[in-house]
Structure 1
């Protein structure tokens, strides 16, 4: 579920159903992400910084705008990069420090907080990803807590488009629902929201695969060896892997009995992601291709193919 696409499509009475019933994924689990995304967008719209018309703005059944909750975030820690394939659910942990006013009860059942990542600008992102569940927090003083929550990605459910690959920013959100979370006619003026972006960055990358096949096997010493392979990456729009065209890939060799690969030459994938090159066979050992990666696609090395030299 792409958050921006889902929220923007909801209006009028449908907004309340989106508010009351969290989104479900293929595994059937309900999530808090729809609540978090929708209330965040309502708060952004109310602040005048966002340009999108929100589900809450369109719903005549709601009243008011969320108020500013006395909560701030710091020390957010997120991984450098995450690989996402075509079908498997990907979850990764984010931690941060939450600081709150004395009037905010973070132990209340009505209080929720969680991390999120967003693509594009903070006030009008092209996509956002939350966790299925709120973060868990442990108080470290009367006004601070350390919190840890997941970001959950479901590529098979349309969470990502290919254009989403690359750099994302990280933020954190806190909501004090004050009894309005399951209300049929929520009064948003009773809902407190704290939202902070720009707390970190990460890469969300299209997972890559690489193969290598060297032949003939065996081969006589000094004869020509041909190595073929293919570099592919996940396509988040059709949920298949396709060749990654015009990319530099290193041909590497590891002599039998050693543990280190040495680069022999650099070759480029063709328009279908295929690789083919020749070299001279001198020693028994393993041949492979190795791709250094890009901001949108992670590095990957093929399994070495052993060739016996006669």
Structure 2
């Protein structure tokens, strides 16, 4: 059993302190799918009665490379007594947020206090913006220590503390994907070619390794890559789909027809972000 001292996030009953982290799981299955709530007795009721317009990372998958990445959770909260505090964290593994194996959480102030993440708009309403950092090199910030096996769907816990001291917490208010970033290159040759002759496009698909903090070749069965072509003034069209090999190398050959540009595109997966190479232009004579 390995222990990590997570940053304490005290918002009523939501306090993540010294969570036990068991050995990492090797699979990519989501950590729990059933909805749940740990609402305090003073203010029973689901959080979706009090929170709306809840958005994680502007509604996009959170795609992380080998460097820290900051993103936000934003929402509007309402309550008849007013909102005193609001918080959201992403977590993975375990039965609930208190037994989570990994947590992406806001940093607290240097003096140990929790910043005020919500501003009152009018009576009973608050706008909450919570900045969170995801960091594959999170040794100095243990709550954001990403590892490869935790790429996939994460649970999002949310809590509200009301001005009348009531607290509501939902361990699985929603879910969000946290993925490893991918990169893709492309080189089309020959750059000047006769009509009807072969054009070969080669590239390399790589993926962020959160354990070693570098990009490694990525392929095999999961590395389906589209070869796309666009003539001058036209739109991109897929002309062939190929697989990257185990080292991430991609090769596709087509017949030249008109001047234009080629590129390679990877559509991503539940654990890996999308990637599109820069375009490479050929001249058909």
* Superposition TM-score, scaled by structure 2 size: 0.73
More strand by share: 2
Question: Does structure 1 residue 201 correspond to structure 2 residue 201?
Answer: no
State the Cα deviation string for residues 130-171 of structure 1 (Å, max 9, x = none): 112531231533x54332212221222252011111111212
Give the aligned CA root-mean-square deviation in angstroms: 3.2
Inter-partner Cα distance in structure 2 for 1:139 and 1:304: 47
Inter-partner Cα distance in structure 2 for 1:52 and 1:156: 20
Inter-partner Cα distance in structure 2 for 1:280 and 1:220: 10
The alpha-carbon distance between structure 1 residues 209 and 43, as it changes in their structure 2 partners (threshold 3 A), is closer
Question: Does structure 1 residue 147 correspond to structure 2 residue 128?
Answer: yes
Give 2:224's aligned residue: 248
Give 1:21's aligned residue: none
Alignment of 1:42-53 (within 5 A): none
Give the structure with higher Rg (CA): 1
Asked if structure 2 preserves the Cα contact closer than 8 Å seen for 1:115 and 1:130, the reply is yes
Inter-partner Cα distance in structure 2 for 1:234 and 1:211: 15
Asked if structure 1 preserves the Cα contact closer than 8 Å seen for 2:11 and 2:159, the reply is no
Asked if structure 2 preserves the Cα contact closer than 8 Å seen for 1:174 and 1:195, the reply is yes
State the Cα deviation string for residues 201-260 of structure 1 (Å, max 9, x = none): 2111111111110112212222111110011111111110111112111111111x2231
Structure 2 regions of 5+ residues with no counterpart? 22-39, 109-114, 140-144
Q: Tell me the secondary structure at the aligned position of residue 158 of structure 2.
A: strand
Give 1:48's aligned residue: none
Give 2:8's aligned residue: 35
The alpha-carbon distance between structure 1 residues 284 and 174, as it changes in their structure 2 partners (threshold 3 A), is same
Inter-partner Cα distance in structure 2 for 1:100 and 1:148: 20
The alpha-carbon distance between structure 1 residues 128 and 113, as it changes in their structure 2 partners (threshold 3 A), is same
Structure 1 residue 89 displacement after superposition: 2.9
Give 2:120's aligned residue: 138
The alpha-carbon distance between structure 1 residues 282 and 5, as it changes in their structure 2 partners (threshold 3 A), is farther
Asked if structure 1 preserves the Cα contact closer than 8 Å seen for 2:9 and 2:16, the reply is no
Q: Tell me the secondary structure at the aligned position of residue 102 of structure 2.
A: strand
Moved over 4 A (4+): 37-45, 67-73, 191-194
Structure 1 residue 99 displacement after superposition: 3.3
Question: Does structure 1 residue 85 correspond to structure 2 residue 65?
Answer: yes
The alpha-carbon distance between structure 1 residues 175 and 129, as it changes in their structure 2 partners (threshold 3 A), is farther
The alpha-carbon distance between structure 1 residues 207 and 281, as it changes in their structure 2 partners (threshold 3 A), is same
The alpha-carbon distance between structure 1 residues 165 and 126, as it changes in their structure 2 partners (threshold 3 A), is same
Asked if structure 2 preserves the Cα contact closer than 8 Å seen for 1:77 and 1:96, the reply is no
| Alignment coverage as a number of residue pairs | 241
The alpha-carbon distance between structure 1 residues 100 and 38, as it changes in their structure 2 partners (threshold 3 A), is closer
Q: Tell me the secondary structure at the aligned position of residue 36 of structure 1.
A: coil
Alignment of 1:63-142 (within 5 A): 70=43, 73-75=50-52, 76-78=54-56, 79-97=59-77, 99=79, 106=84, 112-120=85-93, 121-123=95-97, 124-133=99-108, 134=115, 135-141=117-123
Asked if structure 1 preserves the Cα contact closer than 8 Å seen for 2:92 and 2:154, the reply is yes
* Superposition TM-score, scaled by structure 1 size: 0.67
